[in-house]
Amino acid sequence: MTLLATVRGWRRRRRIDLLIGVTVAGFVAAAAWPPHPQDPAYHEFADRRVLAHVPYALNVLSNVGFLLAGAWAFVRTARSPLVGWERGAAWIFAAGLVLTGLGSAWYHWAPSNATLVWDRLPLSALFPTVLAVAIGDRVSRAAGGALLPPLVVGAVASVLYWQRYDDLRPYALAQFLPMLLIPLMLVLFPARRPTAPLIWGVVIYAVGKVAELSDGRIFAPGGVVSGHTIKHLLAATAAVLIVRWLVSPPPGAAR
């Protein structure tokens, strides 16, 4: 083994150690954070207009974006040359988008903790799916395949834990840890898939989260559209870009 290969191997191990360290720190922070119940104010959306007997109409109807993105994802996955666990990940993401559209529409029709669980259950599977594929693309294909099932099951279980104990810590960890690890991998490891769709998807989704947090401030000036509705539309757009990344097989991947 040449000195250059040794140095590269050492650097790669240090980068993997950094990912592991961030993951461990996330679990420690979640454990140290006091139990965090769902804030009832979460359900108080700015736009409460009723259109054609549909309550919270734009928040409900804007979920069509997820349904369209999911249907398109099914078509792209069916036509993709992906096989094995990566093809399975693409199917999971497509199904998650469709079910998120249905679950989110149901929740926004009658916002409460009881309906919110149907929004969060399918949504929770999307983030770990992208994380597993990113690991397979950037770090190790075998590791991505091995981690996909426990990541998805763990994220779904975090929603069930919140429903049972009204404690959002595991759910927050399952949602936000991938949002830290994926950008880190984009910086630290070379890509095999085309990277631009994933980067733009992450950026657009982040902008959507900002709009969600500014729900009332966006709606107040003209009363036209709320931040939460904008978040739905941006998240669906981000999903389309991420699907483009998911269904692009990395060069040289085993078939």
Report, as an integer, the average pLDDT of 188-199: 89
What DSSP character marks residue 226? Answer: -
Report, as an integer, the average pLDDT of 107-135: 96
- Helix, strand or coil for residue 47? coil
208-253 pLDDT tens trace: 999 999 999 999 998 999 999 999 999 999 999 999 999 987 665 5
Provide the pLDDT confidence category of residue 6 given band limits of 50, 70 and 90: low
CA distances from 180 to 18, 22, 24, 168, 175 (A): 12, 8, 12, 18, 10
Q: Give dist(CA 101, CA 116) in Å, integer.
A: 12
The CATH architecture to which 3-246 belongs is Up-down Bundle (1.20)
46-93 pLDDT tens trace: 999 999 999 999 999 999 999 999 999 999 999 999 989 999 999 999
Query: Which residue in this structure is represented by tokens 């590269």?
Result: 8
Is the pLDDT at 5 greater than 90, yes or no?
Answer: no
Provide the pLDDT confidence category of residue 11 given band limits of 50, 70 and 90: confident
Is the pLDDT at 3 greater than 70, yes or no?
Answer: no
Q: Write b or e for each residue in 66-85: b if 16 or more Cβ atoms lie within 10 A of its Cβ, otherwise e.
A: bbbbbebbbebbeebebeeb
pLDDT at 12: 80
Helix H segments across the chain?
Answer: 3-32, 57-61, 64-79, 84-109, 113-138, 141-165, 169-188, 196-213, 215-219, 227-246
Contact assessment for residue 49 and residue 57, using Cβ atoms and an 8 Å cutoff? yes
Q: Give dist(CA 182, CA 141) in Å, integer.
A: 15
pTM (global) more than 0.85: yes
Q: Report the Cα–Cα distance between both ends of the chain, in Å, rounded.
A: 29
Q: Give dist(CA 7, CA 196) in Å, integer.
A: 29
